[in-house]
């Protein structure tokens, strides 16, 4: 069974909420990406999203844009990242999603990229700028490779389109709780309960709520409405502050552990 599907099934079985964490791959270097991912598993993360560095990250705010730039500067490429995933797989079975832009798949070769991801131990792809309406061949290739094609929904998504996306998504629905780009916010959106209720009318897939969740208190609040919460910029900003300092992994993993406690209540 796909690791994402298996993890959410276990969470549901035990009545627990999940934590999805995002970092920019190769920030500050790929060895740190490996160590952080393994540490996040121990700290209580249920899914790790690795942002594939890209020169024009349209869905990202400044924190994650700078992480992508640092990833590019450290020499991170898709093949090098997949080799890092292979190394992670010798140490951890935490579900891994690549957060990626379509141009990278196109440049690498669509089917080859998917097959290489599956061979390395990736569990799903979130292609930010590939809408479901243009994804039929992609979905078939992903299914053949045993990977989850994860799609976004937003506060502006009409219900008719929610139904289309829900039918075609696999693994989980990523609900973007705010309009705009990624980034930390001082308070959570006040429409999360309403929107997650609408999404649930169309699917039994888990709903992971992201964009703007910055601390354990917000994580606990949002976890009331979603099946999982997604935290990215708040983690990435800590990586930016610590850089290559020796305490990078332990410090950032400690923050992830505090988020996990907020979500899971332990």
| pLDDT of the residue at 43 | 98
pLDDT at residue 191 in the model: 81
Strand partners, 149: 125
pLDDT at 182: 46
Give the per-residue pLDDT at 178: 59
253 contacts 36 by C-beta, under 8 angstroms: yes
188 pLDDT higher than 80: no
Side-chain-side CA neighbours of residue 168 (13 Å): 21
Share of the chain above pLDDT 70, in %: 95
**Per-domain residue ranges of the chain:** 3-264
Whether 187 has a pLDDT exceeding 80, the answer reads no
Sign of the dihedral defined by the CA atoms of residues 109, 110, 111, 113, in that order: positive
pTM: predicted TM-score of the whole model, two decimal places: 0.94
**To the nearest whole number, what is the mean pLDDT of the chain?**
92
Range 224-233 average pLDDT: 92
- For the segment 154-174, the average pLDDT, to the nearest whole number, is 94
The torsion defined by the Cα of 137, 142, 143 and 148, in degrees rounded to 10, comes to: -130
Segment 210-227 mean pLDDT? 85
Closest C-alpha among 54, 44, 1, 52 to residue 23: 52
> Can you spell out the DSSP letters for 52-118?
PP-S--TT--HHHHHHHHHHHHTT--HHHHHHHHHHHHTT----EEEEE-HHHHHHH-HHHHHHHHH
Q: What is the pLDDT of residue 202?
A: 96
When pLDDT is cut at 50, 70 and 90, the band that residue 266 belongs to is: low
CATH architecture group of domain 3-264: Alpha-Beta Barrel (3.20)
Residues annotated as catalytic (active site), given as ranges? 49, 60
Give the residue with greater pLDDT, 262 vs 80: 80
Going by C-alpha positions, the residue among 207, 222, 216 that lies closest to residue 235 is 216
For 108-163, the pLDDT digits (tens) are 999 999 999 999 999 999 999 998 988 889 999 999 999 999 999 999 999 999 99
Does residue 61 carry a pLDDT above 90? no
The pLDDT value given to residue 241: 96
Residue labelled with tokens 């799903």: 124
Rounded to an integer, the average pLDDT of 213-227 is: 87
pLDDT at 180 over 50: no
Say what the pLDDT of residue 183 is.
Answer: 41
**What pLDDT, on a 0 to 100 scale, did the predictor assign at position 88?**
98
Top mean-pLDDT range of 180-184, 186-190, 213-217: 213-217
* 185: confidence class by pLDDT, cuts 50, 70, 90: very low
Contact between 209 and 199 under an 8 Å Cβ cutoff? The reply is no
pLDDT at 186: 44
Is residue 31 within 8 A of residue 152, CB to CB? The reply is no
Distance, first Cα to last Cα, the chain: 27
């Amino acid at each position: 069974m796909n690791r994402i599907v298996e993890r959410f099934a276990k969470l549901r079985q035990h009545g627990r909420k999940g934590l999805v964490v995002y970092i920019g791959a190769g920030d500050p270097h790929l060895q740190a990406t490996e160590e952080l991912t393994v540490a996040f598993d121990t700290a209580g993360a249920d899914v790790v999203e690795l942002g594939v560095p890209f020169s024009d990250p349209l869905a990202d705010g400044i924190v994650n844009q700078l992480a992508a730039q640092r990833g590019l500067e450290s020499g991170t490429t898709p093949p090098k990242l997949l080799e890092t995933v292979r190394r992670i797989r010798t140490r951890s079975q935490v579900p891994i999603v690549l957060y990626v832009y379509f141009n990278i798949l196109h440049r690498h070769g669509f089917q080859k990229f998917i097959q290489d991801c599956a061979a390395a131990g990736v569990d799903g792809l979130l292609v930010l700028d590939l809408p479901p309406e243009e994804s039929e061949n992609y979905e078939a290739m992903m299914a053949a490779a045993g990977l989850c094609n994860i799609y976004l929904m937003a506060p502006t998504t009409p219900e008719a389109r929610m139904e289309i996306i829900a039918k075609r998504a696999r693994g989980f629905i990523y609900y973007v709780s705010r309009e705009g780009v990624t980034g930390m916010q001082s308070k959570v959106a006040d429409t999360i309960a309403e929107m997650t209720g609408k999404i649930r009318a169309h699917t039994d897939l888990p709903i992971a709520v992201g964009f703007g969740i910055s601390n354990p208190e917000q994580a606990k609040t949002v976890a009331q409405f979603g099946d999982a919460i997604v935290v990215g910029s708040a983690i990435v900003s800590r990586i930016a502050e610590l850089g290559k300092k020796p305490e990078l992994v332990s410090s950032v993993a400690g923050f992830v552990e505090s988020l996990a406690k907020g979500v899971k209540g332990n």
